């Protein structure tokens, strides 16, 4: 579930980068630079959190990395991306309403575990506890479809952006998806 959640976020972020008809009329290169600036900023925040507990040698290395990243942020003239979920507003509504829940939201709890997740994974019957794996609540065919859909979206939007043909790939994707959906119905 955690891997699919990460793949879902990656595919949606790449779609966001490559989406040419965005409200700000930004190029894919500009959006990539915005994403890079945000990535560097998040990395600086993380490094600053670990810096106080680092050994003196490691602290020097972290400080150099922080300085490098801050310099790169300063050179980057583009705005930060902002929260991931909010950036989906810059895509057609079906991404936030349909693809986001399928590729990201469904697996979010694997990345942010809480007591609800633990209670879902532990069952008690007649004073006996059993433990579920996260795969028991999602069928293998569904996981294949989720993973394949994320991969297809990454490849399709890249091919569309660079004006490469993707009709054959799309046909194969739809055929495999139909086959997997048929297996799921059995």
What are the DSSP calls for 79-123, one per residue?
Answer: PP---HHHHGGGS-HHIIIIIHHHHTGGGHHHHS--HHHHHHHEE
Provide the number of structural domains found in the chain. Answer: 1
Cβ atoms within 10 A of the Cβ of 31, count?
23
Direct distance between the N- and C-terminal alpha carbons of the chain, in angstroms, rounded to an integer? 23
pTM of the model: 0.75
> Per-residue pLDDT for 77 more than 70?
yes
- pLDDT at site 185: 63
> Is residue 150 a contact partner of residue 4, using CB atoms and an 8 Å limit?
yes
Please report, for residues 4, 139, 168, the alpha-carbon distance to residue 172 in angstroms, rounded to integers and kept in the order given.
21, 22, 6
Residues 6+ positions from 130 with CB-CB distance below 8 Å: 122, 123, 124
- pLDDT at site 7: 87
Whose tokens are 């600086």? That residue is 44
- pLDDT at site 66: 98
pLDDT, tens digit, 9 for 90 and up, residues 80-124: 998 888 888 899 988 888 878 876 766 777 787 777 777 777 777
Confidence of residue 147 (pLDDT cuts 50, 70, 90): confident
> Is residue 132 a contact partner of residue 123, using CB atoms and an 8 Å limit?
yes
- pLDDT at site 126: 84
Confidence of residue 8 (pLDDT cuts 50, 70, 90): confident
Query: Could you tell me the residue range of the domain that residue 25 belongs to?
Result: 2-185
């Amino acid at each position: 579930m955690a891997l699919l959640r990460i793949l879902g976020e990656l595919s949606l972020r790449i779609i966001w980068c490559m989406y040419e008809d965005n409200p700000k009329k930004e190029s894919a290169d500009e959006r990539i630079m915005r994403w890079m600036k945000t990535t560097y900023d998040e990395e600086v925040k993380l490094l600053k959190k670990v810096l106080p507990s680092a050994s003196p040698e490691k602290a020097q290395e972290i400080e150099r990395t922080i300085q490098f990243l801050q310099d790169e942020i300063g050179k980057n003239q583009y705005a930060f991306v902002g929260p991931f979920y909010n950036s989906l507003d810059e895509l057609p509504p079906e991404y936030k309403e349909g693809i986001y829940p399928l590729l990201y939201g469904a697996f979010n709890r694997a990345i942010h575990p809480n007591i609800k997740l633990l209670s879902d994974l532990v069952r008690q019957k007649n004073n006996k506890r059993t433990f579920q794996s996260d795969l028991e609540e999602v069928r293998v065919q569904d996981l294949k479809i989720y993973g394949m859909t994320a991969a297809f979206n990454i490849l399709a939007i890249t091919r569309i952006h660079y004006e490469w043909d993707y009709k054959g790939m799309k046909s194969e994707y739809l055929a495999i998806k139909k086959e997997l959906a048929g297996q799921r119905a059995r």
